């Protein structure tokens, strides 16, 4: 799957009511290298929201926390994914991308590897 297609499809609107969740999340163990994006079990059908940020404004840890905090604003959110990637536009600069997902707890099996992706961090619900 091309990252360009992945990111472009995420711009589709999703009608979901935001309500804070009381769920507990843990970091998903992802094997090195950290070049993971959402697989077909998550994307695009379970996307609640997508986020992007300038690469210079965040670290991997602060971006992952930002995306997780956004996920927690949705009662239906059960996983979150944050990563850096080259954007599909011109110029091809590196940025931060993240998604909040519904659909249940996730493991590494729910994610796939992608070119030009780095610093992936995923969280999964353990108690809802």
Q: What is the DSSP string of the chain?
A: --HHHHHHHTTS-----------EEEEPP-PSS--EEE-TTTTTTTEEEEEEEEGGG--HHHHHHHHHHHHTT-TT--EEEEEEEE-SSSS--EEEEEEEE-SS---GGGEEE-TTEEEEEEEEEEE-
Give CA–CA dist 122/107, Å, rounded.
Answer: 9
Report the b/e string of 89-101 with b at 16+ CB within 10 A: eeeeeebbbbbbb
Task: State pTM to two decimals.
Answer: 0.85
11: confidence class by pLDDT, cuts 50, 70, 90: very low
pLDDT top residue among 43 and 127: 43
CB of 122 closer than 8 Å to CB of 27: yes
**Token output for 78:** 């059960």
21 alpha-carbon distance from chain centroid:
17
3-28 average pLDDT score: 61
26-51 confidence digits (pLDDT tens): 999 999 999 999 999 999 999 999 99
């Amino acid at each position: 799957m091309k990252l360009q297609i992945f990111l472009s499809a995420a711009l589709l609107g999703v009608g979901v009511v935001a309500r804070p969740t009381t769920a507990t999340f843990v970091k998903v163990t992802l094997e090195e290298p950290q070049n993971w994006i959402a697989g077909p079990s998550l994307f695009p059908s379970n996307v609640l929201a997508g986020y992007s940020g300038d690469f210079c404004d965040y670290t991997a840890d602060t971006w992952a926390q930002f995306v997780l905090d956004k996920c927690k604003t949705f009662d239906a959110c059960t996983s979150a994914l944050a990563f850096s990637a080259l954007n599909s536009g011109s110029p091809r600069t590196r940025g931060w991308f993240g998604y909040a997902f519904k659909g249940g707890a996730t493991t590494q099996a729910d994610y796939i590897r992608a070119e030009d992706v780095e610093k992936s961090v995923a969280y999964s619900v353990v108690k809802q």
